């Protein structure tokens, strides 16, 4: 039996931070190898152990291995992706069209993590002021799964360029269930050294020291030790 009060060892702590820093949004590196059932079960269990406001646990998991269903989802993506490309012009438009933004058929399994917005009843503890906490809680389940997947050597790609109404209809979701995250899962040929959009020059990571405020928005962080530690962390 694990002692839950035991501090993490140096190796355990390093493993956690490695998963965080080496997690990637995978689109292009999927291998066809199937994910063993026990490994997938571990990932789903990790997601299910995410924190949730009022312990409402609003998530469900739809495991999709049907080529027919995935082709339908890919069709939805391609329609929405054409619309998204119109947001850019010139060189940016060309760059956008060159990006591979999904691995729906390349990955052996797709997973839709949903949010049941009625779960827990009318009055959920902690949800009185911020109704969207069910969505926030489900995002934590996504992150749990993503980090566990990285530790298992499995890549995850979030396909966000989808019409949610069409996706819900394709998956037969009840009216109160929202398809929060459509994910592609599979073993990969490699995990890139840096996020693909950063490597391709789409965006760069913002410096952390410019994002940490002190006691209010736009106020300088007055703790010199924290400022120095943040700069050191960025160099690492």
| 168, 105, 50, 215: CA torsion to nearest 10 | -90
Say if CB 41 and CB 111 are below 8 A apart: no
Show the tokens assigned to 93: 């438009």
Show the tokens assigned to 133: 């906490």
Instruction: For residue 25, give the DSSP letter.
Output: B
**Separation CA 193–CA 214 (nearest Å):** 32
Instruction: For residue 68, give the DSSP letter.
Output: H
pLDDT band at 3 (very low <50, low <70, confident <90, very high): confident
CA atoms within 13 A on the CB side of 230: 15
pLDDT at 5 (0 to 100):
87
Say if CB 66 and CB 171 are below 8 A apart: no
* pTM of the predicted structure, to 2 decimals: 0.94
Determine the average pLDDT of the residues in 10-30. 96
pLDDT at 234 (0 to 100):
80
**Separation CA 134–CA 178 (nearest Å):** 10
Q: Give 97-128 pLDDT, tens digit per residue.
A: 999 999 999 999 999 999 999 999 999 999 99
Q: Give 32-44 pLDDT, tens digit per residue.
A: 999 999 999 999 9
**Separation CA 78–CA 35 (nearest Å):** 26
Any idea how long the chain is? 236
Burial 122-139 (b: 16+ CB within 10 A, else e): eebeebeeeeebbeebbe
Domains of the chain: 25-205 (3.40.109.10), 206-236 (no CATH)
- Asked whether the predicted pLDDT for residue 90 surpasses 70, the reply is yes
pLDDT band at 2 (very low <50, low <70, confident <90, very high): low
Question: Could you tell me what percent of the chain has a pLDDT over 70?
Answer: 99
**Separation CA 3–CA 6 (nearest Å):** 5
The Cβ of residue 167 has, within 10 Å, a number of other Cβ atoms equal to 20
């Amino acid at each position: 039996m694990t002692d839950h009060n035991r501090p993490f060892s140096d190796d355990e702590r390093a493993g956690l931070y490695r998963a965080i820093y080496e997690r990637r949004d995978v689109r292009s590196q999927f291998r066809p190898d199937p994910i063993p059932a026990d490994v997938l079960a571990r990932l789903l269990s990790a997601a299910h152990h995410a924190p949730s406001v009022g312990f409402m646990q609003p998530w469900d998991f739809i495991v999709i291995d049907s080529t027919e269903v995935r082709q339908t989802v890919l069709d939805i993506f391609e329609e929405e992706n054409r619309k998204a490309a119109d947001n850019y012009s010139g060189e940016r438009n060309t760059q956008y069209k060159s990006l591979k933004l999904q691995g729906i058929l390349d990955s052996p399994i797709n997973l839709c993590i949903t949010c049941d917005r009625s779960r827990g009843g009318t009055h959920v503890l902690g949800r009185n002021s911020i109704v969207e906490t069910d969505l926030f809680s489900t995002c934590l389940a996504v992150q749990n799964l993503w980090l566990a997947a990285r530790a298992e050597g499995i890549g995850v790609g979030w396909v966000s360029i989808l019409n949610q109404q069409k996706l819900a209809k394709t998956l037969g979701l009840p009216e109160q269930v929202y398809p929060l995250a459509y994910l592609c899962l599979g073993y990969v040929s490699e995990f890139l050294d840096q996020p693909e959009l950063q490597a391709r020059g789409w965006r760069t990571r913002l410096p952390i020291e410019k994002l940490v405020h002190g006691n209010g928005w736009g106020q300088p962080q007055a703790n010199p030790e924290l400022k120095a530690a943040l700069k050191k962390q960025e160099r690492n």
